[in-house]
A and B are shown apart, each in its own frame.
Chain A
Amino acid sequence: MLHWLTLMADSLPSLLWAALVFTVPLTLASFALGLIVGLVAAVVRLFGPAPLAAIVRFYVWIIRGTPLLVQLFLIFYGLPSAGIVLDAFPAALIGFTLNVGAYTSEIIRAVIGSVPKGQWEAAYSIGMSWSQAMRRTILPQAARVAVPPLSNSFISLVKDTSLAAAITVPELFQAAQRIVATTYEPLILYVEAALIYLALSSVLSALQVRLEKRLNQYGGFLEAKS
């Protein structure tokens, strides 16, 4: 028992370091970029010309219909055969961004569509342009509805970054695997890694609650009990 605790304590710094240097930046960067991709894709689907909208639908179809692990392998191990060689971290970043972009585009499309048409008309009636109406009237209301589903994507992403271990990114899970290779203590190390993932997701859940509170200040909606 004491042996286990010492092992946990000894490995904690290198696991935390891997989380801090790889897992967290990879999560934050690919979510931020993925949101931009998702917003653009959603706007194209809703307002863009038909051929562009079809391209976006194709993109979402491919990304949602194939395993994330396969996508990462294609980018990192497959693309070099086509002459495109990427380092592990950028390859992972691209893979996760495309993945987040596809899933969030559907969320964003739905929440933009959920704002009543009358709100567009009210914005137009006081002289707003399309982009002013979008920025000042529609997106702020859509954002409120989007927080819970986008939080789902965000929290999934934190855990999905463990797949980057398979394309040699030395992130949290791979750091745990390496220590297991020398200590032969898989149970302890993988529990420890799982707890760190749990801690990271818990931070995000707490942020979600605060953000929901802030966006709900204007009232008129049901709120979660706790």
Chain B
Amino acid sequence: MIRLTNIEKRFGDLTVLKGVSVTVAEGRVTALIGPSGGGKSTLLRCINLLEIPTSGTVRIGEEELSFQPGGKPGWRDIQRLRGQTGMVFQNFQLFPHRTAVENVMEGLVTVQKWPAEKARDRAMALLRKVGMDHKADAWPATLSGGQQQRVAIARALAPSPRVLLCDEPTSALDPELSGEVVEVLGTLAAEGTTMVMATHDLRLASRIAHEVVFLDTGQVVESGPSHTLFTHPARERTQRFIATLTQQGQQGEGV
């Protein structure tokens, strides 16, 4: 279980998150949706501490860390929490100087000190899972965006994280390429992978997410089961946002 309690994040005078609390159950997929600047990416990055919350508590499984203004968490504490997570980025961020399979092996070999052969076996199994084993020895620069993102998903899964965090995983891809990424994430969701994703992609959110959290101006406006929230949003603000997403979806597909 992941529990974020009262997360506040300030950048100077700007308060990006104003006391957000979200709980994600094991094996469930939660989508964070909302307008740009609403805080969904920041909230996601607070889970693996790429952003350190100004205050609040982050709990992942058995590991918990609280933050106070001015207090800086220790490196070990950050690692303890971050080790529970894997992350997929909007722009993939594969290591360009390593082949696909080396990208997936990197965390196992460098951080977890696995022997190279064992790490390669696991990396190949993960590449097979995302349908990229035939490109194991390719350089990232020679892969399409969708292929790079699938390798990035395998890399994030390599250390067996308790939760997979996805930051706009399809936003840099055209509808066709994003389709293959949605499919891979859908398979993972069906297997019971716990995921939290920040997304604009209605297709991704409606197809995969069990729960949806709608964030605007740093606050949770509404949350609930995805079907309910997409078809019968309670708040007027949510209705307006969903309407714009649907319109864009009809015009441009995928957004």
A residues at B contact (CB < 8 Å): 116, 118-119, 121-129, 132, 136-137, 140-141, 144, 217-220
A127-B97 in contact (CB<8A): no
Interface centre among B86, B96, B140, B142 (most CB of A within 10 A): B96
Q: Which residue of B lies closest to A141 (CB)?
A: B97
A132 CA / B140 CA spacing, docked (Å): 21
Known: A118-B89, A118-B91, A132-B111. A125 touches B106 (CB 8 A): no
A124 to B49, CA, bound (A): 10
Known: A121-B93, A140-B97, A218-B97. A127 touches B107 (CB 8 A): yes
The size of the chain B interface, using a CB distance under 8 A, is: 30
* Alpha-carbon separation in the docked complex, A122 to B106 (Å): 11
Interface presence of B141 (CB below 8 A): yes
Please report the C-alpha to C-alpha distance between residue A178 and residue B13 in the assembled complex, in whole angstroms.
70
Given A121-B50, A132-B111, A219-B141, are A126 and B75 also a contact pair (CB < 8 Å)?
Answer: no
Q: How far is it, in angstroms, between the C-alpha of A133 and the C-alpha of B79 when the chains are bound?
A: 14
Contacts of B85 in A (CB 8 A): 125
Given A121-B89, A218-B139, the answer on whether A128 and B110 have CB atoms closer than 8 Å is yes
Counted as pairs of residues, one from A and one from B, with CB atoms less than 8 Å apart, the total is: 70
**Chain A CB within 8 A of B82 CB:** yes
B window 90-140: CB within 8 A of A: 91, 93-98, 106-107, 110-112, 139-140
- Minimum-distance CB pairs A-B, first 10: A126-B107, A220-B141, A122-B93, A125-B87, A127-B111, A219-B141, A118-B93, A218-B139, A140-B97, A218-B97
Contacts known (A118-B89, A218-B96, A219-B142); A129 close to B107, Cβ less than 8 A: no
Q: List 27 A-B contacts (CB under 8 A).
A: A118-B89, A118-B91, A119-B95, A121-B50, A121-B93, A123-B95, A125-B48, A125-B82, A125-B85, A125-B87, A126-B86, A126-B155, A126-B156, A126-B158, A127-B82, A127-B111, A127-B112, A128-B107, A128-B110, A129-B79, A132-B110, A136-B106, A137-B95, A144-B97, A218-B98, A219-B139, A220-B140
Q: Which among B89, B93, B94 has the highest number of chain A CB atoms within 10 Å? A: B93
Q: In the complex, A140→B95 CA distance in Å? A: 10
The residues of B that contact A116 with a CB separation of less than 8 Å are 93
* Complex interface: chain A residues within 8 A of B159 (CB): 126-127
Return the contact of B106 from the options A126, A141, A217, A218 (Cβ within 8 A): A126
- Chain A residues lying within 8 Å of B156, measured Cβ to Cβ, are 125-126
| B83 interfacial contact with A, CB 8 Å | yes
Distance of A114 from chain B, by nearest CB (Å):
13
- Residue of B at shortest CB range from A133? B110
